[in-house]
Structure 1
Amino acid sequence: MAKVGFIGIGAQKAATTWLHHVLAEHPEVVTSETKELNFFTANYDRGYTWYESCFDDNSEGRIRGECSPTYFFSRDAAQRARAYNKDLKLICILRDPIERAFSNHMHEIRKGHIDPATSFETAWAQNPAYALQSHYKANLESWLAHFDRDALLLLFSEDISADPRGTYDKVCDHLGVAAEANPVSLGARHHESITYRMPGVQKTLRYGGDTIRSLGMPGLVSSLKELPGLKQALSMNRQHLKTKVAPPMPETRRRLASQFMPDMEYVAQQAGRDVLPWPTWRDVFADRSESQG
C-alpha cells in the first residue's frame, strides 16, 4: 500500500476541519474517515500498518492524507513524520495568535473541561497549551528542521473566510491535483464556538451528518440543513459562546501582542508577506506608529 502523501499539521482552531472536508470530496484525494488520526503524536505506537489501514485500500493513483492539529506543536511529530515519508507534503493553517488562543479557551469550555465562568486570563495561567500552540515560530521551526520549505504550504484561516476558492486552489496546486469546480464544503463553517440548549439533539444530528458524509454524500448534508423546519430548529438550539464568555481584557491583548510579535514577524517572513491578515498584527503596527509619532 502506498504511503500517506500529505498531512495537515494544524494549528488548532484554525480551519483544519474545513481542509479535511474539502479534500474528502476530491476524487483524486483519499482522506481518513476519522479526521484526526493523531498518528505521529498519540497513536505512534500503533505502527505504520495501523496508520495506513485507516485509509481506503482502493486508492491507487490518488494521494492520501489526514489532518491532525496536535502535530503542529508536538516536538516529536516532525521527526517521526520525516522518518515515515521524507516526501510528505505539509499543510499548515494559522490564525491570529490571540484570536486562536481565545477560540482555544472557548473550545475547552464547550468540551466541559473548564467552567464557563473562568476568565481567559485565569485559564491562560492554568493551561500552557494556549500559549504553546500560538507560538508559531518555534512550532514552524521544528517542522522546517526536518522538511524543506517547499514541502510546506502555509495558509491563513482569515484568507479562507475571505477567499475560500483561492485558498482551495492553492491547496490543490500544492498536492498536485486538479481543483474541483464547486466543492460542496467550500464555504462551510465547522466547529464554531457554539453550545446547545439540547446537547443530545445536536449530538444525534452531528452523528447522522458524519455518517452521511462517510457514505460520500456531503451535498445531502448541506441540503438537509437548509430544510425550513430543520434549519429553524438548528438555529434555535445554538448559542454562540462569544455571547457568554468574556474576551481577553485590553491589557491582556497588549501584553500578548508584544509576546507574539516575534512569531508574527517570522510567519510573515516565511509567507513572503509584508502584512498579515490579523487584527493583532494591525494593532502592533498601529501602536508602533503612535509611539514613533
Structure 2
Amino acid sequence: MFGFRLSEASSPEECRHLTDRTTCQDTDANAIEVRALSKRFGGPTVLNEVTLDVRYGAITCLLGPNGAGKTTLMRILVGHESISRGSARIVLPEDGALADRTVGYVPDSSLVYPLLTVREHLRLVEALFGLSRFSRAQEEQFLKALGLDEHADLLASKLSKGLKKRLMLACAVRQGARVLVLDEPFDGLDPAGQEMLMSLVEQLRDQGCCVLVSTHRLDIAERVADELLVLDHGELVFSGTPTQFVRLGEPSPNKTAFEAAFAAVSRRSDSRPRLAEFDGTSP
C-alpha cells in the first residue's frame, strides 16, 4: 500500500500539506488514521485531540450535531484544510503513480460544472486522470448502475440536488477512488434516491472500498453503518460498531435504541434555558 500523511509542521499556524509519502506493506492496514488532531480557526477549537481509525471494506458513518466538526474533519482528510496540531494519514492501496486519484470527495455543496452534461463530466475525469475512455456501451452501463442513464445528456445545471450528488459520486468512482469521503450525501434526496445511494455505498463497501459518510440521519446510519464515529463539540465521544453503540442508551416509547444511544453519548444540555421561559415580551 502507498500512503501519504498530512504532517505536523514546525509552527502551529503553518499550513499542513500532503507531503510525507511512505510505502505500507500491510494490505490489512487502516484506510484513514487520525492521531491527536486539533483544529482552531483563530480562537475557537473546532476539533480537539481527535484520534480515530477508518478501515477498508466498511461503511463508517460519522455522526454529530451541527457544528460538531464533521465537515472540518473531512476537509482536513482530503487536503482542503490545514491542521493546528496532530496528524492525519490516508493509506492508499495503490502505488505512487495512482495515488492522486485514489481518494474521492463528495462535499455537501455542489462541485459540478453547470455547462457540462453528465456524460461530459465522465469524459473530463477520464482526461484529467489519463484514463482510457469508456466505450459507448461501457459508459451506458456505468451511468445505468449509478441511476444517471436517463439524465446522461442533461446539463449539470438542470439536475436536482440529489442527482448532482449522484454525479459527484459517479465522478469519484470513475476516477478509481478506493477511499471515498462523502459529506451529507443523503441530504436533499427523496426516499427513492436515498435507497439508490444506500445501495451504491454498500456495493462500494463490498468491493473493498473505504466509505466514510457523514450524516445527521440516524435512521440511515443505523441501516448502512458497519462502524460509527460520533463527534460532539469537536471531541470524539464514540468509536465502535452499531451493536456496541445501541448498548449505551435506554430505549423508550419516544426513542429508538439508536436515538437513545446518540442522546447518551452527546453532550448534555440540561443547563440550557428552555424556550418556554421566554414569552417574547422581555426587554
Bin of the TM-score, shorter chain as denominator length: 0.3 to 0.5
Calculate the TM-score normalised by the size of structure 1: 0.32
Calculate the TM-score normalised by the size of structure 2: 0.33
Could you say which structure has the higher helix fraction? 1
